[in-house]
Amino acid sequence: MLQRLVAAGGSVPFSTFMDWALHDPDHGAYGSGRLRIGPDGDFTTAPSLGADFAALLAPQIAEWLQELQAHRPADQPLALVESGPGEGSLAADLAEALAVGWPDLAARCELVLVEPNAGMAARQRQRLAGCPFPCRWASFAQLAKAPPWGVLLAHEVLDALPVERIQWDGQRWRRQQVVLLEQAGAGALLRLEPGEPLAPELAAPLEDLGLLPPSPQRPAGWCTELHPGLEPWLAAAASALAAGPLLVIDYALEAWRYYAPQRSCGTLLAYRGQQATADPLLAPGEADLTAHLCIESVMRAAGATGWEALGQARQGAALLALGLAERLHALQQQPARDLASLLAQREALLRLVDPHALGDFRWLAFNRGLPLARPRFLREPELTPP
Ligand SMILES: C[S@@+](CC[C@H](N)C(=O)[O-])C[C@H]1O[C@@H](n2cnc3c(N)ncnc32)[C@H](O)[C@@H]1O
């Protein structure tokens, strides 16, 4: 990291720093495969809490795959594609759930993992060694050469796309730089500084996001993030599928909340050893760096790249529509199981819908290339007669 900064002249835009800190093949947190996901790792995600998350999502995925199966030409492949699979837990548990619940569909399907970091892909290969249907790793560009009809999942991956940090200096927006400071006897220090005024192509969304005209409620020094990586990612994702839905699940806020004057330092956090800090420079390459999504920015980038919006929900509501309450209730009907594991499973299910944590995640669904029914996770839960 320091060598790269020296080679770049001692300072780079924050987005470049974030890219290196996450993706450098030797020193990046994901590139090296150093980060561990799960309750015993650096941070916890919904799929890393156990197989319940995938089991609840599986009927939605199966319904989409059935719709694709009904429309696709016979010679076109059918795929479940996951971008940013982390430890591979969601892909592995979903493949298992599909093979058990929808074996005919699973027999026609392949699993494709899109993972740019060799260190993470190595662990995914181990986790998916017993995958019940064909499984391969490919980039969006490779998929685009013979795009399958498929369902694309992006669980907590868009929050890892490098963001641009911008700072108001009282007169104009500036792009923050990470600067290397050499201090005699104290080694190298990194500092965030307001850099060049924002270039016109980066400044374009400011008005839509309510950041122009300037408001006196945002004093000099107020900073936030922009998401220039969203549109390229969504464009590449669109070309990787012949047709099918995209489900983005992530931390996300409406623009009015994201860019509210009182949120004076954006949403960027660094995670390591289950601790979160707002200082992204503390342990470059050792910590996850993550910023929330802005819902309007995702919607706009999706529309510009050919995705039609299917709808959105908070995770708590989505999982209740998919049967989480029934699953909780069914736990009580399992007297043969030991109490400790029952309680742990119950706790994990409740964490998925906790409105102050994972339950506030957003599910944003998009589609391209064929008509699809209203997603199951947006429908009212079906009531079973007493
Ligand atoms: C926060 S982890 C999420 C892992 C998993 N989806 C989960 O929720 O447990 C982010 C994952 O996305 C990968 N990743 C980062 N940037 C990516 C990109 N541009 N395309 C695809 N994967 C990416 C990382 O290597 C890592 O596997």
Cis peptide before 214 (omega within 30 of 0): no
Candidates 282, 381, 273; CA nearest to 326 is: 381
Atom index in ligand 1 nearest the CA of residue 249 equals 8
- The β-bridge partners of 164 are 226
Q: Is the CB of 32 under 6 A from ligand 1?
A: no
Q: How far is the CA of 90 from the centre of ligand 1 (A)?
A: 12
Q: How far is the CA of 91 from the centre of ligand 1 (A)?
A: 12
Taking the C-alpha atoms of residue 16 and residue 10, their distance in angstroms, rounded to an integer, is 12
The whole-angstrom distance between residue 33's C-alpha and the CA centroid of its chain comes to: 17
Q: What is the pLDDT of residue 230?
A: 98
Q: How far is the CA of 198 from the centre of ligand 1 (A)?
A: 28
First and final CA of the chain: distance in angstroms? 62
Q: Is the CB of 124 under 6 A from ligand 1?
A: no
Q: How far is the CA of 355 from the centre of ligand 1 (A)?
A: 24
Count CB atoms within 10 A of the CB of residue 288.
21
Q: Is the CB of 85 under 6 A from ligand 1?
A: yes
Q: Which residue has the least CA distance to atom 1 on ligand 1?
A: 156
Beta-strand ranges (E) seen in the chain are 11-13, 78-83, 109-114, 135-137, 149-155, 164-168, 173-183, 187-197, 223-226, 244-250, 252-253, 269-272, 275-277, 288-290, 293-294, 308-314, 362-368
The H-assigned helical ranges of 223-375 are: 230-240, 255-258, 295-304, 315-321, 324-331, 339-353
At 47, give phi and psi (nearest 5°): -65, -25
Q: Is the CB of 86 under 6 A from ligand 1?
A: yes
Candidates 159, 265, 261; CA nearest to 214 is: 261
The alpha carbons of the chain give a radius of gyration, in whole angstroms, of 22
Taking the C-alpha atoms of residue 125 and residue 92, their distance in angstroms, rounded to an integer, is 10
Provide the residue-wise pLDDT of the chain in tens; the chain has 386 residues: 888 999 999 999 999 999 999 999 999 999 999 999 999 999 999 999 999 999 999 999 999 999 999 999 989 999 999 999 999 999 999 999 999 999 999 999 999 999 999 999 999 999 999 999 999 999 999 999 999 999 999 999 999 999 999 999 999 999 999 999 976 666 679 999 999 999 988 888 999 999 988 889 999 999 999 999 999 999 999 999 999 999 999 999 999 999 999 999 999 999 999 999 999 999 999 999 999 999 999 999 999 999 999 999 999 999 999 999 999 999 888 777 788 889 999 999 999 999 998 999 999 999 999 999 999 999 976 666 55
Q: How far is the CA of 228 from the centre of ligand 1 (A)?
A: 17
Q: Is the CB of 51 under 6 A from ligand 1?
A: no
Q: How far is the CA of 113 from the centre of ligand 1 (A)?
A: 10
Contacts of 28 (CB under 8 A, 6+ apart): 20, 21, 22, 117, 285
Q: What is the DSSP string of 272-294?
A: ETTEEES-TTSSTTTSEEE-PEE
Taking the C-alpha atoms of residue 38 and residue 162, their distance in angstroms, rounded to an integer, is 22
Taking the C-alpha atoms of residue 88 and residue 234, their distance in angstroms, rounded to an integer, is 22
Structural domains in the chain, sorted by start: 46-162+227-251+292-375 (3.40.50.12710)
Candidates 149, 207, 124, 146; CA nearest to 173 is: 207
Q: Is the CB of 157 under 6 A from ligand 1?
A: yes
Q: Is the CB of 167 under 6 A from ligand 1?
A: no
Q: What is the pLDDT of residue 386?
A: 53
Cα 134 to Cα 109, 113, 179, 345, distances in angstroms:
8, 11, 46, 30
Q: Is the CB of 114 under 6 A from ligand 1?
A: yes
Q: How far is the CA of 114 from the centre of ligand 1 (A)?
A: 9
* Residue entry with tokens 């019940």: 132
Q: Which residue has the least CA distance to atom 19 on ligand 1?
A: 161
Pocket test for ligand 1, best of 127, 157, 274, 292 (most atoms within 8 A of CB): 157
Q: Is the CB of 281 under 6 A from ligand 1?
A: no
pTM: 0.96
Q: Give the DSSP letter of residue 28.
A: S
Q: Is the CB of 44 under 6 A from ligand 1?
A: no
At 237, give phi and psi (nearest 5°): -65, -40
